[in-house]
Amino acid sequence: MAKPEQLKKGVEVSIKRPSHIHAEVLGPRPGDAGLPPEQVTYKVRILPLIQYLPPEDLELVDPSKEPNARLEYMSRDWTQELAHCNGLMQRFLENQNDKNLSNEVSQSLTRLGFFVAR
C-alpha cells in the first residue's frame, strides 16, 4: 500500500482495487523489453481518464529500467555504475584495442550522463 506522503503528482502507481476498471492498452512498458511474456506489464489508459481512489487501493510502481537510460546523478544506481565504469576504464587502459570493452565503456558513460546517446 502506498503511503499518502508518497503519492505526489506524477508518481506512477498500480491500482489494486476496484477490480472492474476499463482501460485501453497502449503497449508494453519499455523497461520490460526482453522479459518472458508472462512477466511483461502493459501501459494502459484508464477509461474514464480521471478517477478518485483512496491510498489503500494504490501501489507504487518502480520506474522502468531502460538498459541505457541515464541514471539520476548520485543515486545508488549511479554510484554503482560509476564503480563499474571505473573497473571498465582500468581494463580498457590495459587493452585499448578491445572493441567490446570500448562499447561497454561508452554505454556506461552514457548511463552516467557523461556521453549523450545518438
Q: Which amino acid is at 15?
A: I
How much of the chain is in helix, strand and coil states, percent to nearest 5?
Answer: 40, 15, 45
What integer is the mean pLDDT of 79-94?
A: 91
Q: At 92, give phi and psi (nearest 5°).
A: -65, -40
Q: Does residue 11 surpass a pLDDT of 70?
A: yes
Q: Using an 8 Å Cβ cutoff, are 46 and 13 in contact?
A: no
pLDDT of residue 115: 80
pLDDT, tens digit, 9 for 90 and up, residues 49-67: 677 777 787 777 666 666 6
Selected residue with higher pLDDT from 69 and 72: 72
Give the model's confidence band at 45: pLDDT under 50 very low, under 70 low, under 90 confident, else very high: confident
pTM (whole model) above 0.85:
no
pLDDT cut 90: percent of the chain above it: 12
